[in-house]
Amino acid sequence: MTQSADEDQRDVARVLAGETDAFAALVERHQGRIRNHLARCVGPDDADDLAQDTFVRAFQALDRFDQTYPFRGWLLVIASRLAANHGARRRERPSGGSMPEPAPRRDDDPAAAFADRDARDELVRRLDAALATLPPDARALYELRFRQECPVNELAHHFQISEGALKVRVHRLRQALAEHLGIDSPQEA
Amino acid sequence: MDPMHLIDHPPQDPERRPDALFTAAVMAKVRIERPVRHAGAWWLAAAVIAACALSAPVEGVAELASVGDWIDLQLVIESALAAAAVALVWVVTTARARIAS
């Protein structure tokens, strides 16, 4: 178990024992990831409000949190559910241009790096456009599985479906995105 | 670049620094909402049970008496009990919220 996961477990136990202020440490530790995730799912305008709701809901349901799984994944699933509900209500999706910029990277050959980066940026832009066409729940699942790298077993547990069913959903997601990017018959990751 | 690789490994967002204002906003909501929610649920349940328990004898008396006026009286008493229960829940939850904040 990582240091962060250990700290989460300790803070969750303190909150459950009645130390409400210990929840602030959990908020500090996870707010960046949750806010980024929600900005991806619903756009930056509504992300912070939904992020606050995510933490409040987590606090209210903390006694039902299964501590055999990481707190981070549980929070991300709560955020995703809120994002999906929010998206279903609004029936509109954020534009690719409003997403946070990817982190800069270093390359050894500047000329090749520029050409490579242009091609990569174009692909990233197309991927964002493809993601914007997905229904809110599918988009949230993509962000959880691929950008946040939540394990299949953890997501299956939180969504209360079998791992097989979750893998099928993820496979269909990849297929839909691949079609959007003009790729035939994607192989399994 | 392989597009499938990009789908499977999309770029990560830059890390955000913790925002103290965000944390404070969440904690303000957390401190207020939980006691209200729990107190409200318990008191509402207690008030409904009390109203049911008190209305049952009234209904029994009305049936025994077999008098039409009793039915009206029963409705009046039940309505008053329901109103009292709602008022009680409001007073208690408001007081708890003020203490908690």
Q: Is the pLDDT of residue B38 over 60?
A: no
CB A88 within 8 A of CB A172: no
Amino acid at A86: H
pLDDT at B60: 62
Q: What is the pLDDT of residues A98-136, one digit of tens each?
A: 444 444 444 456 566 666 778 888 889 999 999 988 988
Q: What is the ipTM of this complex?
A: 0.77
Which tokens hold the place of B96? 């708890």
Q: Which residue of B has its CA nearest to A26?
A: B23
Contact of A136 with A41, CB cutoff 8 Å: yes
Question: What's the pLDDT score for residue A185?
Answer: 56
Average pLDDT in the B56-62 region? 62
Nearest to B3 among A21, A28, A183 (CB): A183
Helix runs in chain A, H state only: 3-16, 23-42, 44-60, 71-90, 110-132, 136-142, 152-159, 163-180
pLDDT > 90 in chain A, percent: 59
Please report how many Cα atoms fall inside a 13 Å half-sphere around the Cα of residue B66, on the Cβ side: 1
Instruction: Go through B5-24 and write b for each residue having 16 or more CB atoms within 10 A of its CB, e for each that does not.
Output: ebbbebbebeeeeeeeebbe
Which chain A residues are Cβ-neighbours of B25 within 8 angstroms? 52
* pLDDT the model gives residue A47: 94
Please tell me the pTM assigned to this model.
Answer: 0.67
Of B4, B14, B19, the CB nearest to A103: B14
Tell me whether A102 touches chain B (CB under 8 Å). Answer: yes
Ordered by start, the domain boundaries in chain B are: 43-101
A24–chain B Cβ distance below 8 A for any pair: yes
Closest chain A CA to residue B100: A20
Per-residue tokens: A108: 């050894």
Best CA proximity match to B8, nearest among A161, A82, A170, A107:
A170
Q: Tell me which architecture the domain covering A3-180 has in CATH.
A: Orthogonal Bundle (1.10)
The angle at the Cα of A144, spanning A90 to A76, to the nearest 5 degrees, equals 75
User: Degrees (nearest 5) of the Cα angle A64, A67, A71?
Assistant: 90
Contact B3 A103 (CB under 8 A): no
A186:B7 CB<8 A: yes
Does the pLDDT value for residue B42 go beyond 90?
Answer: no
Q: Compute the mean pLDDT over every residue in chain A, rounded to the nearest whole number.
A: 85
Q: Which of A56, A98, A105, A148 to mutate to test the interface with B (most CBs of B within 10 A)?
A: A56
Q: What's the Cα-to-Cα distance from B46 to each of A188, B35, B40, B81, rounded to whole Å?
A: 56, 16, 10, 12
CA A109, distance to chain mean position in Å, is: 33
